[in-house]
């Protein structure tokens, strides 16, 4: 990386962090540290909510998803606007007017302490694992830039995020989110322009989209009802509705953001921003992945999108097998490129028959190229001793480092690294809040000074940072990070949502029913996860329905027990 990019990375990144910390006020008090004294304007809280999702995972994992799988992933977000409306009417005013620090405090008021504790534990596990996936995204980038292994780059990302969270609190996180959100959108558009202007002479974006369409990458709707198919209209409108209601409505990392708003109406407005803007932004993100795919149709990409793994394979014991795969890859790539060029020339000549024939050849060669890459990834996994290797998360970082102009690389790396750092900070802050308020203050030290609780919160921030580091090293090799983080969440979110549905919609539900319902929900999801091929989005439905059904039945059974005099 050029010295100019390093200077931009250090100067711009340093200014954003400094300005975020400078805006922090009242972080020596619990409400100021955890909720910013409910003083954040709605637009800043809304941008903070969106920046939490449009983070490094989006820039790396979702764009990589667009490269390999096209627009199908957009179906995942079809239920988001409806979920935001439902939550704005129900849980947002409910939590805000309750004056709680965590969403799970309410469950003790409604049910009992063990239900609050159990639900908070589920949140801590889900968010701690998801935080690890967030850390993995910039760790992948740094591993390519510096040539370090993932463990070292994971620590390099996490330690500054932990320190930043300790000193800044939620107010520093929120104001930094605002600047990073603008930077992320700018970086996405700059990468799209780089990919388009990098196409060879005589090949336009329309030509590229035609060959991408031949591979099915432009298909956005799948109406098949198949519970094992991850992304369909039905999973995106039914199953994802449960996921979004749980994530935005009951996950402390999100609830804490809109609890910082100045009023109930402003809290609603902050959440509704996602309803208006999330899907258009995701379209841009996925289109970037498709544009990069089109770029690499005409410019040969590496067989494995990780320079560290590539160099290891070229010089290791399996170098001969890897070289044979590389030769096959080079041949298939050249055949695919010729088919794409033929399609572009036929389109320019107005020969529709020849164009469709060339597009069909391109699709066949693209499948062959994908097969070679899959065999190469399998070889890497066997040599590394891990059994699996997936380079989806390395695609966009490789594109940035190899093809983006000097200067823009630095800005894009600022966007990726600080987006992750700030998201990590926000999630660590929510983990610390739940740990201190739901466990330490509730069960161990109910009366103490604000200074004492803040010291404990900073210690728990560091411990959760270490936990997330361990998860990050593992998560980086599990495939697209946007899928990984939602797989983690979907294991827990349905059950968490179910207990809140019980609390609000079932007046006769009691603590015993809620606790047994939670156990039934997690048990049901575990059975589906380990013993079926049902897509992870539907796990949210399974968990929520099991909690509500079992929790309601258990509550009514207890009420009908005969009294003993």
Give me the average pLDDT of each 10-residue run along the chain (565 residues).
Answer: 77 69 58 59 68 69 85 87 87 78 86 93 89 80 75 80 68 69 82 90 85 88 85 89 88 76 78 78 89 93 86 85 94 94 88 89 92 91 72 86 85 76 78 89 85 85 87 73 78 92 90 94 94 91 95 78 45
Bridge partners (DSSP) listed for residue 40: 261
Q: Domain map of the chain by residue range?
A: 3-297+398-442+451-559, 307-390
Q: Which tokens hold the place of 329?
A: 């890859």
Which residues partner with 201 through β-bridges? none
Tokens standing for residue 360: 């069909």
pLDDT at 382: 83
Dist. CA 127–CA 137, nearest whole Å: 16
494: DSSP letter: H
Query: Rounded to an integer, what distance in angstroms lies between the CA atom of residue 471 and that of residue 359?
Result: 42
Contacts of 424 (CB under 8 A, 6+ apart): 131, 134, 135, 157, 158, 161, 165, 465, 468
Q: How far apart are CA 114 and CA 354, in angstroms?
A: 69
- 3-class SS shares of the chain: helix, strand, coil, % to 5: 80, 0, 20
Q: Which helix (H) or strand (E) holds 77?
A: none
Given this model, what pLDDT does residue 7 score?
84
The two tokens of residue 421 are: 């750092």
274: which residues sit within 8 A by CB, 6+ positions away?
Answer: 46, 49, 50, 53, 80, 84, 248
What's residue 543's pLDDT? 95
Closest by CA to 298, choosing from 198, 404, 400, is 198
The token duo for 503 is 């609390």
SS (H, E, C) 424-465: HHHHHHHHHHHHHHHHHHHHHCCCCCHHHHHHHHHHHHHHHH
Q: Can you read off the two tokens belonging to residue 373?
A: 């890459």
Nearest residue to 62 via CA among 536, 485, 357 = 485
Q: What is the pLDDT of residue 34?
A: 55
For the segment(s) 3-297+398-442+451-559, the CATH number from 1.20.1730.10, 3.30.70.20, 3.40.50.720, 3.40.50.150 is 1.20.1730.10
Q: Which residues contact 15 (CB under 8 A, 6 or more apart)?
A: none
Q: How many CB atoms lie within 10 A of CB 507?
A: 8
Instruction: Report pLDDT for 248.
Output: 85
């Amino acid at each position: 990386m050029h010295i100019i990019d390093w200077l931009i990375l250090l100067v711009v990144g340093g200014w954003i962090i400094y300005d975020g910390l400078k805006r922090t006020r009242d972080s020596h008090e619990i409400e100021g540290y955890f909720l910013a004294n409910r003083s954040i304007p709605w637009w800043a809280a809304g941008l903070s909510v969106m920046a939490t999702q449009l983070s490094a995972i989006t820039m790396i994992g979702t764009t990589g998803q667009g490269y390999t799988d096209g627009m199908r992933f957009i179906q995942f977000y079809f239920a988001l606007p409806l979920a935001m409306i439902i939550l704005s009417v129900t849980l947002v005013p409910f939590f805000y007017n309750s004056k709680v620090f965590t969403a799970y405090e309410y469950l003790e008021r409604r049910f009992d302490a063990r239900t609050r504790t159990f639900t908070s534990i589920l949140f801590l596990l889900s968010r701690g694992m998801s935080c690890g996936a967030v850390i993995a995204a910039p760790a992948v980038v740094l591993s390519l830039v510096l040539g370090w292994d993932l463990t070292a780059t994971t620590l390099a990302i996490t330690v500054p995020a932990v320190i930043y969270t300790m000193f800044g609190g939620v107010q520093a996180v929120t104001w930094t989110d605002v600047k990073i959100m603008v930077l992320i959108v700018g970086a996405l558009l700059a990468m799209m322009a780089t990919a388009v202007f990098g196409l060879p002479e005589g090949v336009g974006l329309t030509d590229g989209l035609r060959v991408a369409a031949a591979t099915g990458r432009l298909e956005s709707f799948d109406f098949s009802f198949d519970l094992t198919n991850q992304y369909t209209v039905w999973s995106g409108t039914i199953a994802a509705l449960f996921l979004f209601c749980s994530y935005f409505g009951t996950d402390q990392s999100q609830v804490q953001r809109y609890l910082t708003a100045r009023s109930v109406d402003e809290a609603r407005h902050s959440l509704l921003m996602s309803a208006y803007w999330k899907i258009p932004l995701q379209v841009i993100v996925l289109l970037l992945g498709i544009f990069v795919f089109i770029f690499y149709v005409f410019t040969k990409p590496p067989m494995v999108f990780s320079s560290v793994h590539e160099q290891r394979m070229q010089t290791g014991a399996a170098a001969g097998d890897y070289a044979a795969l590389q030769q096959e890859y080079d041949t298939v790539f050249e055949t695919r490129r010729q088919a794409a060029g033929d399609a572009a020339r036929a389109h320019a000549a107005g020969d529709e028959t020849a164009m469709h024939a060339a597009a069909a050849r391109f699709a066949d060669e693209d499948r062959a190229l994908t097969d070679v890459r899959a065999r190469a990834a399998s070889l890497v996994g066997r040599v590394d001793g891990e059994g699996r290797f997936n380079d989806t998360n390395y695609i966009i970082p490789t594109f940035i480092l190899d093809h983006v102009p000097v200067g823009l690389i630095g800005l894009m790396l600022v966007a990726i690294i600080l987006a992750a750092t700030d998201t990590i900070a926000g999630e660590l802050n929510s983990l610390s809040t739940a740990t201190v308020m739901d466990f330490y203050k509730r069960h161990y030290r109910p009366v103490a000074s604000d200074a004492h609780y803040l010291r404990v919160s900073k210690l728990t921030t560091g411990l959760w940072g270490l936990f997330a580091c361990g998860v990050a090293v593992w998560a980086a090799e599990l495939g697209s990070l946007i899928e990984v983080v939602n797989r983690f969440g979907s294991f827990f979110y349905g059950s968490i949502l179910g207990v809140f549905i019980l609390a609000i919609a079932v007046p006769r539900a009691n603590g015993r029913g809620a606790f047994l319902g939670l156990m039934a929900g997690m048990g049901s999801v575990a059975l589906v996860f380990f013993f079926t091929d049902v897509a992870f989005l539907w796990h949210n439905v399974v968990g929520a329905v099991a909690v509500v059904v079992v929790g309601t039945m258990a509550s009514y059974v207890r009420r009908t027990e005969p009294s003993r005099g």
